[in-house]
Every structure is written in structure tokens, then in C-alpha cells.
Structure 1
Amino acid sequence: MIQLKNAALESSAGKKSVHALRCLNVTLPETGLVVLTGASGSGKTALLHLLALREMPSRGEILIGGENTARWSEARRSAWLRECAAADEALLFADLTLSENAERAAVLAGFSGRDARENA
């Protein structure tokens, strides 16, 4: 299980602080399919960066398998990031539309072809 507890991601733009995410609490299962949707600028990419440990939260914590990733070594974080990057590259097919990619992912996650098409 992957959990974000009160996670925030912010950066500085000059004297101004920019909040990509504020006080986010999310629990994701170890297996299955999770679909992330939202308007441009809503924090989808920021969330993915946190989940992949590409960035660490400015507040809160990320737990993977019950372990606080802030206590992980740099080598362990790098290994996790490589796994996430490999999964990201492997799951998108350039010759398919976004809908077809979503359908394929749903089938791989165990949905029937019909359910995958209807929900893609």
C-alpha cells in the first residue's frame, strides 16, 4: 500500500511560495488500476512526482509498505524511481489513442474487454 499523509508540495518563485499540493491524504492499493484525472494545474503531475519519489514532500509523509520514505537511503529512493520510470514507459503506447491506452491498461488490470471499453 502507498499512502500520502498530509502531504504538501511547494516551491519558491522569487519571494512567492507556489503550492502544487496542499494537505493531501491518499491511500493506494498495492495492485490494481488507479486512474488520475483533473483539470490542468490541479496537481496530477505533482502527485505522480511524489509517488515516484522524484520529489519529496515539503510537509507530510509518504509511506510505502508502511515505511516512511523519508528514512530511505538515497540508493533505495533511486531504485524506486527507476521502477516507476520503467513502469511509466512500459504502459504507454505511442501508436494508440489515450482512450485505447486506458482500455489496454484496464484489460491488463483484469477488467473484461467490454468493461474496459465502456470505462476508457
Structure 2
Amino acid sequence: MRYVKTVHLKEHIRPAQYFYSLNLVPFRKVSSKRLNIEGTIYNLWAFPKIKKRDYLLAFPLEKIDHFIVLEYTDQQQYLTLPTNKVYKRTDFKMKTRQVEYLFDDIKRADS
């Protein structure tokens, strides 16, 4: 997984309300696993792909005023993370996945 960014919210909002407000349906809680990231306990949520990339949002259990965006390449990747570890955001480093598009190798005729 790769840490992308932390998004700070203007008001406290539940994950389901956030996903509905952006029409990110269907969304789901990934598992009952909880991750401790820098002293805050998070649940992981998944939603439809955006621009051919898979992201997870980590919402804190209490005082939901922010969330963490993580990118992943393998759906089983987050299930193998040990839950007894306290993670830092820098622990989530991976190479950005190269997304290949069908027409990347074709040169435009007018260029």
C-alpha cells in the first residue's frame, strides 16, 4: 500500500455520509480489522475505482474530522497487515502502479 494524503474535513461526518455525498456507491467497510496509525485507530473503507486506481480510505473510529487515502494494488494486501503494530504514514510506501492505457503506444498522426 502507498500513503497518498490526509484529507481534513470541515465538520465531523460518518464514512457512509461522506461516500453518499460524493456518489461513491457502492462502498463497503473492508473488514473488521482496525489499524493503529500514529496512535489513532482506523477502519478501512473501499469504494469504486477512480481513474483506474484502487484506493482505500482510513476513517478514524472516533472524532471523524479527517481520513487517510491509501492506494493499493492487491485486494488481499490490506488483509495481511498485522493489527498489533503501530504504523506511521511513512510505513505505507510502494511504487506507484503503472496504469497502461490502450492507446499509450500509438503516436498521434498530427504530432
Fold conserved between structures, TM > 0.5: no
Normalising by the smaller structure, the TM-score range is under 0.3
Q: As a proportion of its length, which structure holds more strand?
A: 2
TM-score by length of 2: 0.24
